Amino acid sequence: MSDSVLHPIHYCSLSSAADAIRDGQLSPVELTEKLLSRIDSVDGQLRSYATVMTEQALEAGRKAEQEIQAGNYKGPLHGIPIAVKDLCFTAGTRTMGGLKVLRDFVPDYDATVVHKLREAGAVILGKLNLTEGALSGYHRDFPIPVNPWGENLWAGVSSSGSGVATAAGLCFASLGTDTGGSIRYPAMANGLVGLKPTYGRVSRHGVLELAASLDHIGPMTRSVKDAAIVFEAISGFDDSDSSSLRDAVPRITESLTDELSGMRIGVDEHYLASGTNPALVDAIHEVIEVLRQLGAEIVALSMPKSDPMDLRNAWLPICAYEAHKAHSATYPSRADEYGGYFGDALEMGATMSAQDYVNSTKLRREISAQYESALEAVDAVICPSGGSVFAVEKEVQYGNMETLRPVIQHFQGQFTIPADLAGTPTITVPCGFSDEGSPYAVQFLGARLSELSLCRIAHAYEQATLWHRRHPII
């Protein structure tokens, strides 16, 4: 393990740090201490952490070190400091979800994903900030994470803290959730890899719900291999989650290669360019050329025609109705404690009838069928990951549905919402930077259970470029 691979240590890949720990070149205790020190010195300006679990992290680091020294090495997450979105239950540590009504909520058990991470030997550094209830706006009682690429830049939707912490070297990986794009938008905005798995691949047990039929949990990392490592650890059947899939977890890390012979990548030029920043379109065309050089076959296809606002209007009623059900213990009885945007969504859900919901789910099935049909012809479809990052004022993000409209109009939902409606996987990877230095990202869309193929494509592209090695200067 060369010194250059691990310098600076906070920006090295999870897999590189894991190799060094396995080979006895790096101490889990020392690594945990370095990350906690960086959080202490940097996060005051970035506001990515809701709770730093200092004592628990140090204890976990010591335990990992003792286990490894005793010859009980558990794998690539053993002794690695990571963090989780503050929707994930952590026994004995508050889980707030960006919600004032849950400010004092302390669960007595770990979410399944947290339990799996601990079983793999990971060191949980803390809980990461997010939008209120994991929707689009923040509650005024909570800070807004600051994009490390520029303090005036949007940090993404609900998994913003996960995106900021991972991009800024405040953890080696994080967990995010995605109901309408909240792994992919912050991965795009912060220059990261974000893997949204197939619905049911990763257990939702012990994760605060936004919308039960739409919520996905997945990793956010600085490399595709790192995302695959975390995905393999947190995936698998869980009888505590009624939507959990019994399909075997693929061994993705063993299948990553640097060439793409036999892979078919679908391109719909009109789809990827519609409403997209022309410079980002140019960057994606460069991605396509790299994929071609790596041996992939580029296939022209037609994606279903979809307007971002039409898709949002199909998605939002389902989300609002299910969120209202999830918050029945505190809404409307404590409605005054909710913020503007999330309060508006809950009010929308409260006004909907069961028939309204049935009608929305029927539309969902129609959209999903068209979308999945287009994916069947290829190994992946290439497109933006929700657009490109934009400047936004802090105060606007505390607003309601009306005042947040100018922000939401930047969301290119045609690239994010269908995969949540259909429950199909996607992966986001960096693909360049604007002239002003803000990140660009590309997304690969796949059919159900295609995480292995998506990671293989994304990894080969990543290894042929250097974008994932560029980090913000804090």
Q: What mean pLDDT comes out for the span 442-450?
A: 98
Select which of 158, 162, 235, 360 is catalytic.
Answer: 158
pLDDT tens string 164-208: 999 999 999 999 999 999 999 999 999 999 999 999 999 999 999
Q: May I ask the CATH class of domain 9-469?
A: alpha beta
Report pLDDT for 1.
Answer: 42
Residue whose structure tokens are 């490109």? 388
Q: What mean pLDDT comes out for the span 263-274?
A: 97
Q: What mean pLDDT comes out for the span 202-224?
A: 98
Report whether 259 contacts 460 (CB < 8 A). Answer: yes
Report pLDDT for 313.
Answer: 87
Cβ neighbors of 285 (< 8 A, separation 6 or more) are: none
Q: Band of the pLDDT at 307, cuts 50, 70, 90?
A: confident
CB atoms within 10 A of CB 390: 15
Whether the model pTM is above 0.95:
yes
Q: What mean pLDDT comes out for the span 42-65?
A: 98
Judged against a pLDDT cut of 60, whether residue 4 lies above it is answered with: no
Judged against a pLDDT cut of 50, whether residue 241 lies above it is answered with: yes
Question: How many whole angstroms separate alpha carbon 450 and alpha carbon 99?
Answer: 34
Whether 85 is a known active-site residue: answer: yes
Select which of 182, 223, 360, 453 is catalytic.
Answer: 182
Q: Band of the pLDDT at 31, cuts 50, 70, 90?
A: very high
Bond into 8 cis (ω within 30) = yes
Q: Which of 425, 301, 306 is nearest to 363 (CA)?
A: 306
160-167 vs 28-46: helix axis angle to the nearest 10?
120
Residue whose structure tokens are 């990971």? 122
Question: How many whole angstroms separate alpha carbon 463 and alpha carbon 460?
Answer: 5
Whether 162 is a known active-site residue: answer: no
Question: How many whole angstroms separate alpha carbon 75 and alpha carbon 232?
Answer: 11
Q: Band of the pLDDT at 2, cuts 50, 70, 90?
A: very low
Q: What mean pLDDT comes out for the span 435-462?
A: 98
Q: What percent of the chain has pLDDT over 90?
A: 97
340-351 vs 308-326: helix axis angle to the nearest 10?
80
pLDDT tens string 338-353: 999 999 999 999 999 9
Judged against a pLDDT cut of 80, whether residue 27 lies above it is answered with: yes
pLDDT tens string 102-140: 999 999 999 999 999 999 999 999 999 999 999 999 999
Report whether 157 contacts 138 (CB < 8 A). Answer: no
Strand ranges of the sheet holding 264-267, from the earlier edge strand across to the other edge = 49-52, 123-128, 81-85, 174-178, 216-221, 193-196, 426-433, 439-445, 380-384, 264-267, 297-300
Which is more confident, 7 or 294?
A: 294
Report whether 291 contacts 461 (CB < 8 A). Answer: yes
Question: How many whole angstroms separate alpha carbon 133 and alpha carbon 175?
Answer: 16
Which is more confident, 314 or 347?
A: 347
Quote the mean pLDDT of the chain: 97
Report whether 294 contacts 465 (CB < 8 A). Answer: no
- The dihedral through the CA atoms of 321, 325, 327, 332 has a sign that is positive
What does the angle CA 428 – CA 111 – CA 75 come to, to the nearest 5 degrees?
65
Question: How many whole angstroms separate alpha carbon 243 and alpha carbon 421?
Answer: 14
- The dihedral through the CA atoms of 415, 419, 424, 428 has a sign that is positive
Report pLDDT for 350.
Answer: 98
Whether 158 is a known active-site residue: answer: yes
Question: How many whole angstroms separate alpha carbon 378 and alpha carbon 399?
Answer: 41
Report pLDDT for 5.
Answer: 55
Judged against a pLDDT cut of 50, whether residue 449 lies above it is answered with: yes
Domain ranges of the chain: 9-469
Cβ neighbors of 440 (< 8 A, separation 6 or more) are: 188, 279, 280, 283, 388, 430, 431, 432, 433, 434
Type and span of the H or E element at 54 = helix 54-69
Type and span of the H or E element at 115 = helix 112-119
Report pLDDT for 308.
Answer: 83
User: In the numeric block, which tokens belong to residue 272?
Assistant: 């990827």
Q: What mean pLDDT comes out for the span 60-67?
A: 98
Select which of 13, 16, 48, 85 is catalytic.
Answer: 85
Q: What mean pLDDT comes out for the span 434-455?
A: 98
